[in-house]
Amino acid sequence: MTEVTLLEEVVADTPHGDRLRGCMQCGSCGGSCPNGAEMDHTPRALFAMLFAGQRDEVLSSNTMWQCVSCYSCTTRCPREIPITDLMYTLKRMAVGAGVARHSDAIALARVFTNMVERYGRSFEFGIATRYLLLHHPVAALKNAGLGLKMYGHGRMSLRPTRIESLDELHAIVDEARTIEFAERNPGGVTW
């Protein structure tokens, strides 16, 4: 049995991901990136590593964690490669492989997604306080002043809003998880 390469996995897990194979290493993506300076590797370099089969180096790179979803690269790429979506895919794979680099971004995403699954809505105050208090107690203090200002301007709610049909939402989310699990474990049991 031949081993599935990371490139194949990434392509399979991204809508229009097959276009990545047409990358011509022009560097437009890196040149467009507002946060390129903070990345270990530009998107172009990361893709070169992906083609070369450097699984561990790619997954442990900070590149995707520095991506802020501005879609500049995606819009400019001459080969119409969905680069931003590839960054999302690489984030998921890095977390899945347990080698993700940017713990803060992961922590924020976790707190956020938990809130959304619990209430059906995002809850900015809950997210900010939970994330900051758990991960950056010092910054929490610095940001407290900002929070108070926001509150004073009627821009912060201390209580979450819940949608009415939470059951429906949970059924959809659970089903999505089941589908993904079944796809990852073909022929396996899906509960």
Partner 1 sequence: MVRYAFYPGCSLDVSAVAYDESVKAVCAKLGVDLVPIADWNCCGATEYWGHDALIAQALIARNLARIDPELEQVTAPCAACYLNLAKVDRMMREVPAAAERVNRALAAGGLHYEPGRVRVRHLIDVLYEDVGRERLTEASTGSLDGLRVAPYYGCQVVRPFCDNDDSEQPVRMDEVLTWLGAEVVEYPVKSQCCGGHMSQISENEAFELIRRLLDCAHRSGAEVIACMCPMCQLNLDAYQGRVNHHFGTGYHLPVLFFTQVVGVALGIEHDVLGIGREIVPAREALRAHGATVVAAAEGGRDVP
For residues 121 and 164, the answer to whether their CB atoms sit within 8 Å is no
Q: What are phi and psi of 142, to 5 degrees?
A: -60, -35
Site residues (CB under 8 A) for partner 1, limited to 59-98: 64, 66, 68-72, 74-75, 84-85, 87-89, 91-92, 95
Whole-number CA gyration radius for the chain: 19
116-155 binders of partner 1 (CB under 8 A): 116, 120-125, 128, 131, 139, 146, 149-150, 153-155
- Three-state SS sequence of 39-82: CCCCHHHHHHHHHCCCHHHHHCCCHHHHCCCCCHHHHHCCCCCC
133 contacts which partner out of ligand SF4, partner 1, none, CB within 5 to 8 A by kind? Answer: none
Residues that bind ligand SF4 (CB under 6 A): 23-29, 32-35, 43-44, 47, 67-73, 77-79, 81, 83-84, 87
Can residue 8 be called a binding residue for partner 1 (CB under 8 A)?
no
Between 84 and 130, name the residue whose CB sits nearer to ligand SF4: 84
* Residue of 34, 52, 53, 97 interacting with partner 1 (CB under 8 A): 34
Angle at 9 between CA 58 and CA 172, to 5 degrees: 115
Q: Contact, 19 vs 82, CB < 8 A? A: yes
Element at 86 (helix H, strand E): helix 83-97
Under rule CB under 8 A, residue 13 binds partner 1? yes
Contact 133, 140 (CB under 8 A): yes
Q: Interface with partner 1 includes 9 (CB under 8 A)?
A: no
What are the residues binding partner 1 (CB under 8 A)? 13, 15-16, 34-35, 38, 64, 66, 68-72, 74-75, 84-85, 87-89, 91-92, 95, 102, 104-105, 108-110, 112-113, 116, 120-125, 128, 131, 139, 146, 149-150, 153-157, 161, 163-165, 168-169, 171-177, 179-180
